[in-house]
Amino acid sequence: IPGRREGARSLTLDNPVIAASGTFGSGREYGEYLDLNQLGGIAVKGLTPEPREGNPLPRIVETPMGMLNSIGLQNPGLEGFIKEEMPFLRTYETAVIANISGNTVAEFTAMATRLESVPGIHGLEVNVSCPNIHRGGEVFATNPEMVQTITEEVVKVTTLPVIVKLSPNVTDIGLIAQSAEAGGADAVSLINTVLGMAIDIKTRQPVLKRVMGGLSGPAVKPIALRQVWQVYQAVKIPIIGMGGIMTAEDALEFLMAGAAAVSVGTGNFVNPTACIDVAEGINAYMEKHGLHRVSELTGAAHKQ
């Protein structure tokens, strides 16, 4: 991901597979299952200025095709993350992408400003799309002007590559991606989770305490793939594609739809080495077909 503005840093990944935000914590929990150096990147759990306990339980539901969550951004707060998690993450070569989940424009810019001087951060994922924080019903990512404003304000205060994370819960995701691009984003990542719910027929009540949550996993893959396809046609900046990627074959579809790199989220819960398996499978496909760069696959399905 090349930095678009004057003086901006670029983001280079050793392989195109990133552990999606919210699924690896800050990496420590997964360190015993795999060598974090083998990941292309790790997007850490969404950070807020202050520590948060998140929403009341139950806040996770498994369904046959995916998972619902209404976590509500449980995290140690920005300073807690910098102090407790960064010394560990800095011992690895893997690109660390800090997901910042502000509640106001000022919170986004304050976090971006603080992270500018933290060694070992390689990029910012600006999470305008968390479905579980109630802001009078509005998610920033549904409002093109808000997305552009937040992006403009964040790029002003950072030299880090800025990746804006988009919500699938919109009518025209291409339009929202264009707002991020117009605001100066270096890349977009998509999708965040799809709003859904589950009901317990024994109690006749919603399972999640907060009723609705974000659906992820195989259930959302066709939606995510369609939206990556639409965004590829709408903007020129790179796309990080995600949504139900469980296997290398899934990831290849996202690359062909237009993604420059992919993230694996829910897949990590089913298979702790999913990221590595996906990266190896992409590699095997490329070798088999005589390809040398992932970019040869990006958007391939748009070309006849």
Could you list the residues that contact ligand DOR (CB under 6 A)?
22, 46, 69, 71-73, 127, 129-132, 192-193, 214
- Contacting residues for 205 by C-beta, under 8 A, at least 6 apart: 199
Looking at beta carbons only, is 74 or 283 nearer to ligand DOR?
A: 74
Q: Are 154 and 124 in contact (CB under 8 A)?
A: yes
Closest approach, Cβ 72 to ligand DOR, in A, equals 5
Q: Are 13 and 279 in contact (CB under 8 A)?
A: no
Closest approach, Cβ 242 to ligand DOR, in A, equals 11
Closest approach, Cβ 114 to ligand DOR, in A, equals 20
Looking at beta carbons only, is 73 or 242 nearer to ligand DOR?
A: 73
Active-site residue numbers? 130
**Would strands 199-200 and 205-206 be described as parallel, antiparallel, or unpaired?**
antiparallel
- Using CB positions, name the residue nearest to ligand DOR: 214
Closest approach, Cβ 295 to ligand DOR, in A, equals 28
Closest approach, Cβ 287 to ligand DOR, in A, equals 35
Looking at beta carbons only, is 46 or 244 nearer to ligand DOR?
A: 46
Instruction: Provide the CA 106 distance to its chain's centre, in angstroms.
Output: 21
Looking at beta carbons only, is 69 or 109 nearer to ligand DOR?
A: 69
Looking at beta carbons only, is 3 or 241 nearer to ligand DOR?
A: 241
Total residue count of the chain as it appears in this document: 304
Closest approach, Cβ 265 to ligand DOR, in A, equals 9
Inter-CA distances, 86 with 28, 95, 149, 234, Å: 11, 12, 29, 36
Looking at beta carbons only, is 41 or 196 nearer to ligand DOR?
A: 196
